[in-house]
Amino acid sequence: MSKARKRRTFLTAVAFILPFFILYTVFTIWPVVQGFYVSLHKWGLMGKQSFIGFDNYAKFIGDKNFWKALKATTFFVIITTPMLVILAMVLAMLANRVTKMKKSLRIIFYLPSVLSVSVASFVAKYVFTPYRGLVNGVLHATGILAASEEPQWLQDPNLVWITISVMTVWWTIGFSMLLYLSALQDISFDIYEAAMIDGATSKQQLFYITIPLLKPTIWLVSLLQLIACFKVFGQIQLITGGGPGSTTRPLIQYIYETAFGKNNMGYAAAMSYVLFAILLVLSIVQQVLQNRGED
């Protein structure tokens, strides 16, 4: 290849990459840099006030509200992420079976994912509301609950987590299900056929063929859901507002309230970078564990 042709090829490649690079720099890289700059200042909604260095980063160490919000977020991650990872795999296996309902099941399982967070949250509030909600109505109709019992799904500090977790799983499970479904379709049927010839049962095929071959997807779904659950905000804000009290207030909501309610953009930016550091560490740990598992 001549030098002129190499130069022309290089310039063509740059012409295709440059628009994306400019947009990515303006809307992703620059906000990250600007956010860190804000975190080093006392900064209100009206703009910069004074440079305070890393004081905002030291402040969160003694902030009880920060640790309480982080604890609530971590609790949500612990109870929701395993549900999403496991149930999505189960639904994908059901949707991958060769039946007349295969296409219908895929649509049914994925359909909630197309809803906006406001619509999904409204549905959850209606379903779990006491006295006239669907859940309590079904529990009363089936005799599981006595007529005098009325669980307060949105007010009880323990039950409210069930409400939020179930709603989140129902609303977001479709995307993870599709990832599993794609991975299942990449597994050759010849492997199962050989196993059946050797006398392997369905249970043995599941635990010795399907799940081992799904491990890369399981790790991917786990990482994506871990990050997504740590960034939870919309559904909690719309369903409980962080209540009762501040029981369900996640870290993102506390950052939002600090920035726009307390007019402290600098401290909010610092907490955002602390959350970023937590997610970065968890991602690295997950990658290390995945690599060890593959070895």
- This prediction has a pTM of 0.89
∠ CA 232-179-90, rounded to 5°: 90
Q: For 112, how many CA atoms within 13 A lie in the half-sphere containing its CB?
A: 19
For the stretch 26-38, pLDDT in tens is 998 999 899 999 9
Whether the predicted pLDDT of 1 surpasses 80: no
* Alpha helices for 116-260 (secondary structure H): 117-128, 134-141, 159-185, 189-197, 202-205, 211-213, 215-230, 234-239, 251-256
Contacts of 197 (CB under 8 A, 6+ apart): none
Range in 22-26, 131-135, 159-163, 182-186 the model is least confident about:
131-135
Q: Report strand pairing: 41-44 vs 47-51.
A: antiparallel
Q: What top-level class would CATH report for the domain 64-294?
A: mainly alpha
CA distance 64 to 69: 9
Nearest to 228, CA basis, from 122, 81, 89, 101: 81
Any bridge partners for residue 42, and if so which? 50
State the burial class of residue 68 (Cβ atoms within 10 Å of its Cβ: 0-12, 13-18, 19+). Answer: middle
- CA 167 from centre of chain: 13
Number of helices (H), then strands (E), in the chain: 15, 2
Higher pLDDT, 20 or 132: 20
For the stretch 169-213, pLDDT in tens is 999 999 999 999 999 999 888 888 898 988 888 889 888 899 999
